[in-house]
Amino acid sequence: MRTLDKQTIEDIASGAALLGSGGGGDPYIGKLMALQAIKKYGPVTMIDVDEVPDDAFIVPTALMGAPTVLIEKLSNGSECKRAFEAMEKYFGKKIYATMPIEAGGVNSMIPLAVAAQMKVPVIDVDGMGRAFPEIQMVTCHLHGIPSSPMVVTDEKGNVAVLDTISNNWSEKIARAMTVAQGGSVMVCIYPMTGKDIKQCGIRRIMSYSEEIGRAIRDSNKYDIPPVKQLLNKINGFELFKGKISDVLRETKGGFNSGTLKIDGLKDYRGENCEVNFQNENLVAKKGEKILATTPDLICLVDLENITPITTDSLKYGRRVLVIGLKCDDQWRTKKGIETVGPRHFGYDMDYIPIEKRMKGVDSYDL
């Protein structure tokens, strides 16, 4: 158990933005939301999964929708309260703690803002170990934990309690609501027990985000080049370096979807890289060669200061490093691949673990 200070929160936001794999929201907005809530309501305590009683009532919180929308349509804070109240009324019991459902610049921060306001601890865990675009893409789903009863609220004051027959129906219905309600909503989802989260959670993801964030912040302190230092820290693969030459982007069905083209720089001069995304980066190719696919993480960072770049801040001319990271082993199971593998997203290719794809390639997978 520890109380989170401003620097810790900023580091978590920054590191989580990297793990967000392009999605999960802008860390600058995320940290502002968390810090503002803490300033208003008081500090937040983070506890370890092992500190949670087995029968405790846990409710993860997140913003759902297109990250691009979040920039213009900020939460006003009252959603959290309404969502928590609706959840507690529905279940007839108090919420013990909240947690992030995914790692991301905004979605690692929302639970902190909620925790501050609702005076509950936040648990050092999430349900992805990265970010993914859809409701059923959570490790809880792999363990058969239902996403509903869930609550959908918006900044206007609308509240809905959904009790669905499957996590795919939660996704379908809540996504339609997200679009109708302006492109983003707040959700309380996957209500579960302490015992559940011990089984299915990705542990210490907030602390890990913090470590990554600190590494990014300290990257100019040492003799080792920043990029190499970061890749060492996260056991990452360097996939490509280059300058963004094109961004094809559309906000549709409540997602940011698109394709990113990068012209090679330095060792990659003369080569091209293409990254496809749906909120998160899903497939990276160099020419015709597949470098990495979902569920492994494909992360972009600024080549100069190694800060993470989310899909909503991709811009022509930006110089980027494309990094590949191994996903959590839970995603590499049969059900994991079915749920978040490339074929689920419509790509006609098999999932091959990134370390196999990178075999023989210069790697930092230590």
Catalog residues that contact its own copies under the rule CB under 8 A.
86, 156-165, 169, 172-173, 175-177, 179-181
In whole angstroms, the minimum distance from the beta carbon of 89 to its own copies comes to 8
**Cβ–Cβ < 8 Å for 304, 266:** no
**Cβ–Cβ < 8 Å for 127, 101:** yes
Q: How far apart are CA 8 and CA 26, in angstroms?
A: 17
In whole angstroms, the minimum distance from the beta carbon of 173 to its own copies comes to 5
In whole angstroms, the minimum distance from the beta carbon of 75 to its own copies comes to 16
In whole angstroms, the minimum distance from the beta carbon of 156 to its own copies comes to 6
Coil/strand/helix, residue 148: coil
Q: How far apart are CA 147 and CA 136, in angstroms?
A: 7
Please report how many Cα atoms fall inside a 13 Å half-sphere around the Cα of residue 164, on the Cβ side.
22
**Cβ–Cβ < 8 Å for 239, 324:** yes
Residue 170 or 279 having the CB closest to its own copies? 170
In whole angstroms, the minimum distance from the beta carbon of 188 to its own copies comes to 14
Nearest CA-CA partner of 199 in 50, 340, 95: 50
In whole angstroms, the minimum distance from the beta carbon of 106 to its own copies comes to 23
Residue 150 or 231 having the CB closest to its own copies? 150
Residue 181 or 281 having the CB closest to its own copies? 181
Q: Residue 260 phi/psi, 5° resolution? A: -120, 135
- Name the residue type at position 254: G
Residue 1 or 165 having the CB closest to its own copies? 165
Residue 176 or 361 having the CB closest to its own copies? 176
Coil/strand/helix, residue 177: helix
Dihedral of alpha carbons 90, 154, 169, 282, sign: negative
Residue 157 or 225 having the CB closest to its own copies? 157
Residue 65 or 213 having the CB closest to its own copies? 65
Q: Residue 270 phi/psi, 5° resolution? A: 90, -10
Q: How far apart are CA 176 and CA 185, in angstroms?
A: 11
Cis omega (within 30 of 0) for bond into 149: yes
In whole angstroms, the minimum distance from the beta carbon of 164 to its own copies comes to 5
Nearest CA-CA partner of 7 in 165, 213, 236, 304: 213
According to DSSP, residue 108 is labeled T
Q: How far apart are CA 218 and CA 190, in angstroms?
A: 36
In whole angstroms, the minimum distance from the beta carbon of 175 to its own copies comes to 7
In whole angstroms, the minimum distance from the beta carbon of 81 to its own copies comes to 14
Residue 164 or 279 having the CB closest to its own copies? 164
In whole angstroms, the minimum distance from the beta carbon of 141 to its own copies comes to 17
- C-alpha dist (Å) from residue 178 to 28, 135, 173, 230, 251: 23, 12, 9, 36, 13
Residue 177 or 200 having the CB closest to its own copies? 177
Q: How far apart are CA 13 and CA 308, in angstroms?
A: 10
Residue 153 or 294 having the CB closest to its own copies? 153
